[in-house]
């Protein structure tokens, strides 16, 4: 469930994966092709899952020349997000079963709220020094997922968790509430109005940004469809 919530978040980072994946593919490709040629190995049959990645590869070799140009194109958008979600759920999420999980409670009289980006991968070094770039399997990293006003799914990778039902201290609870708010993409959701939230994150109201975003959404489907038709033109799976 934590992996699914991570993939459903609009700013989960999945849209950043295509560029990284493309760099890895191109870095390995020349050596792999040369090795296959030396060993007389035929090109493998197309992989259905890999065919879902929005990548168009073309070659150009001018007449009479030995070498040419290999061109790879991709786009950050709907298809790359869907591919990244599938990749995470089929591969990366497997490591979650190796962790020791527990359910933690807030301090008495305090509650959790949640956001549109609820799964937090926390690297906490010392007070005031932390980031949300933790890996799914990085030792010492913490993964937090608010489930309700009273429950938080929690693990510290590589460590034995506190007993189920343990409460954080008031200081720890307030810090985690701040981290939850800071990690939000745009929206916070709470059982009731929370007076602390304005101190955690500043609310922004901007009509120009709003109408620009609406304009982008109105164009979204047509632009994505055009991009996907181009990138998947020569693939078996469209």
End-to-end CA gap in the chain? 28
pLDDT (0 to 100) of residue 11: 46
Q: How many residues does the chain have?
A: 238
Query: How far is Cα 167 from Cα 159, in angstroms, rounded to an integer?
Result: 17
Mean pLDDT by 10 residues, the chain (238 residues): 53 55 69 79 63 84 86 88 83 81 96 96 94 86 96 94 93 98 94 93 91 95 93 66
The pLDDT score that the predictor gives to residue 238 is 42
Q: What is the pLDDT of residue 30?
A: 74
In this prediction, residue 19 carries a pLDDT of 60
Q: List, as one string, the DSSP characters of the chain.
A: -HHHHHHHSTTSSGGGHHHHHHHHHHHHHHHHHHHHHHHTPPPPPPPHHHHTS-EEEEEE--TT-S--EEEEEE-SSHHHHHHHHHHHHHTGGGGGGGS--EEEBPPTT----EESS--EEEEEEETTEEES---TT-TT-EEEEEEETTEEEEEETTSPPPPTTPBPPHHHHHHHHHHHHHH-SS-EE-SS--TTHHHHS-----HHHHHHHHHHHHHHHHHHHHHHHHHTTT-S--
pLDDT, residue 97, reads: 84
Q: In whole angstroms, what separates CA 79 from the centre of its chain?
A: 14
10 Å CB burial of residue 83 (0-12, 13-18, 19+) is: buried
Predicted model pTM = 0.71
Closest CA to 167 of 189, 185, 150, 190: 150
Q: What pLDDT score was predicted for residue 237?
A: 45
CB 161 within 8 A of CB 143: no
Domain ranges of the chain: 2-90, 99-200
CA angle 156, 4, 78 (to 5 degrees): 130
């Amino acid at each position: 469930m934590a992996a699914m919530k991570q993939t459903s978040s609009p700013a989960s980072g999945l849209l950043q994966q295509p560029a990284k994946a493309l760099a890895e593919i191109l870095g390995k490709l020349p050596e792999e092709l040369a090795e296959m040629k030396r060993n007389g190995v035929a090109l493998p049959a197309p992989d259905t899952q890999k065919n879902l990645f929005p990548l168009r590869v073309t070659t150009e070799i001018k007449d009479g020349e030995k070498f040419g140009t290999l061109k790879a194109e991709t786009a950050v958008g709907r298809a790359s997000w869907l591919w990244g979600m599938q990749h995470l759920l089929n591969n990366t999420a497997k490591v979650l079963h190796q962790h020791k999980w527990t359910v933690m409670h807030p301090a008495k009289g305090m509650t959790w709220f949640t956001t549109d980006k609820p799964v937090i991968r926390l690297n906490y070094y010392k007070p005031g020094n932390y980031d949300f770039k933790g890996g799914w399997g990085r030792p010492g990293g913490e993964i937090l997922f608010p489930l309700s006003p009273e429950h938080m799914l929690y693990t510290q990778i590589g460590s034995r968790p506190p007993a189920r039902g343990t409460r954080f201290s008031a200081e720890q609870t307030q810090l985690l509430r701040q981290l939850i708010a800071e990690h939000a993409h745009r929206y916070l959701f709470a059982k009731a109005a929370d007076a602390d939230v304005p101190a955690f994150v500043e609310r922004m109201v901007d009509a120009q940004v709003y109408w620009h975003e609406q304009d982008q959404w109105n164009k979204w489907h047509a632009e994505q469809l055009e991009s996907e038709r181009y990138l998947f033109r020569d693939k078996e799976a469209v």
